[in-house]
Amino acid sequence: MTHPRMGRNEELFARAQRCIPGGVNSPVRAFRSVGGTPRFIARAQGPYIWDADGRRYIDLVGSWGPMIVGHAHPAVLEAVNRAARDGLSFGAPTEAEVEFAERLLRMLPSIEQVRLVSSGTEATMSAIRLARGATGRAKLIKFEGCYHGHADALLVKAGSGALTFGNPSSAGVPPETTQHTIVLDYNDCEQLKDAFDRMGAHIACVIVEPIAGNMNLVRASEEFLQTMRQLCSRHGALLIFDEVMTGFRVARGGAQSLYAIVPDLTTLGKVIGGGMPLAAFGGRRDVMAQLAPLGPVYQAGTLSGNPVAVACGRATLELVEQPGFYETLAARTQSLVNGLVQEAKEHRQAFTADSVGSMFGLYSSLQVPRSFAQVMACDKERFNRFFHAMLERGVYLAPSAFEAGFVSIQHDEAVLAQVVQAAHEAFSEISR
Ligand SMILES: *Cc1c(COP(=O)(O)O)cnc(C)c1O
C-alpha cells in the first residue's frame, strides 16, 4: 500500500526504482544532486510542462536543449504526424534526409558533407574515430568539464598532474581505453601549447565545446579558441567543435559563427532533432570522404536519418530560420538574466548569471566562472535551496548547480516576468 498522502510523482518514483536503475533512464534526471523526488512529466505545451500530479511548471530545461521552439509546436507536430503516416523507418535513403543535409550545409558553411546519426554520443564518437582514421594518429585532447557523450574514450577526468593522461571517470572503462585521451583545463592556452609542443605529431584531434554548456555555462575566450585553431592547423590535427548543445542554440550558425572560427569537424544534436533522436557530424569534404562506404573508417546506424526524426528536425529548423528568431530569443534571455541578477543583488544573495543566445548560466557565486575550477567553487547547497524554492513556485530549473538553462521562443515576456517574480520570492525565502 502506498502512503495516502503520497503524490503521483512519489508513487511513480517508487515504482520506477524497482524496475529501472535509480528510477531514471539518464542519471541527472534522478534529482540526486538537489535532493527530493523527480517530477514525472505527463505532458508539455509551449513554455510549460505538467507533472503527474497535474502541476504546471515554467520549463527552463527544454529537454536539456532541444526544445527551442517550445513544446508541442503545432507546425512540428503536423510534420511529425505527416511523416509517421508514411512509415516509421525504411533503412534506405530518403529525399527528406537529402533535403535536411542540404539545409545543414547551408546553415553551417564549415560543413561540406554531413552524416546523420541518432544521438550526440554517436556523433562525437564517430567524429573522433573519423579524426583518428583520417590522420592515422591516436591521441586526442579534451577539456575537463566539457561533456561529449558517454563513449569510453571520452569518459575521462584529469590525471594527477597537467598533461598526464586522463583517468577513466566511470567504472567499466579500462585505463587502456583512455590512455590516448589528454585532459586539459578549459580556457588555458599555455597548457594547450605545451601539449602540442610535446606531442603535436601524435595528436589526431582536439574536441571542445566552443561555449561550454555542461559545466554550467562557461564562455571560451577568443584567444583560447584561436590558439586551438592555429595549433591544430600547424600540427596537422583536426579541430572538432562539439556543438551538440550550442548548434542552432547560441546563434543561427552556432558558436563557430560567433567566434568566426572554422572547425574541421562539427558535431550536432539536440536542437537539430527538435525533440526526436537525431544528431549529426560533418565538416571537411576530404575528411568525410574517409567514411565507409567511400573510405576505410566504419560508421553505421539502423535508424540513422530516421524519417520521422528528420521531419521533426526539419520543421524545427524552418521555424528557427524565420527572420528575427535568434534576436528575439537572445534579447528575452538577456532580460531574464538581468532580472535574476537584479533580484539576487536586492536580496544580497551571492548569485550571478550570464547568457549567450538562449542558453543561460545561473551561478551560486559572485563571479561568472571562466574555468572548471571556478564552476566547482560555486555553492552547491545554496543553489539547491534556490532550486527547490523555485520548483515550489512552479519554475523548473535544471536539477543541478552545474547545468546550463534554456529559453524557448514560447517563453514570452510575461512568462519570463513570472520567473523573475518567483526568483524574488525564492531569494527572500532562502535569505531568511
Ligand atoms: C548532450 C551532449 C552530448 C551527448 O548527446 P546525447 O544525445 O545525450 O548522446 C554531447 N556533447 C554535448 C556538448 C552535449 O551537450
Residue 140 pLDDT > 80: yes
Which of 124, 186, 281 to mutate for ligand 1's pocket (most ligand atoms within 8 Å of CB)?
124
- Residues 384 and 430: beta-carbon distance below 8 Å: no
Alpha-carbon distance of 380 to 400, in angstroms, equals 8
Measured from the Cα of 277, ligand 1's closest atom is 7
144 is written with which cell numbers? 575537463
Alpha-carbon distance of 370 to 36, in angstroms, equals 30
- Residues 198 and 231: beta-carbon distance below 8 Å: no
- How far are the Cα atoms of 43, 150, 330, 352 from residue 270, in angstroms, in the given order? 19, 15, 18, 26
Question: Which secondary structure element, helix H or strand E, spans residue 96, and what is its range?
Answer: helix 95-107
Alpha-carbon distance of 270 to 248, in angstroms, equals 9
**Pocket (CB within 6 angstroms of ligand 1):** 119-121, 124, 147-149, 209, 213-214, 242, 244-245, 269, 279
Alpha-carbon distance of 113 to 134, in angstroms, equals 15
Which of 244, 250, 278, 400 to mutate for ligand 1's pocket (most ligand atoms within 8 Å of CB)?
244
Please give the mean pLDDT across all residues of the chain.
Answer: 96
Confidence of residue 167 (pLDDT cuts 50, 70, 90): confident
Alpha-carbon distance of 146 to 154, in angstroms, equals 10
State mean pLDDT over 364-385.
96
3-state secondary structure of 236: coil
The residue from 270, 326, 363, 396 that is catalytic is 270
pLDDT digits (tens, 9 = 90+) for 237-269: 999 999 999 999 999 999 999 999 999 999 999
Ramachandran assignment for 261, one of left (phi > 0), alpha (psi -120 to 50 degrees), beta (any other): beta
Measured from the Cα of 269, ligand 1's closest atom is 7
Alpha-carbon distance of 183 to 195, in angstroms, equals 10
pLDDT digits (tens, 9 = 90+) for 52-98: 999 999 999 999 999 999 999 999 999 999 999 999 999 999 999 99
Alpha-carbon distance of 393 to 395, in angstroms, equals 6
The residue from 57, 147, 259, 363 that is catalytic is 147
CA of 421 to the centre of ligand 1 (A): 32
274 is written with which cell numbers? 527538435
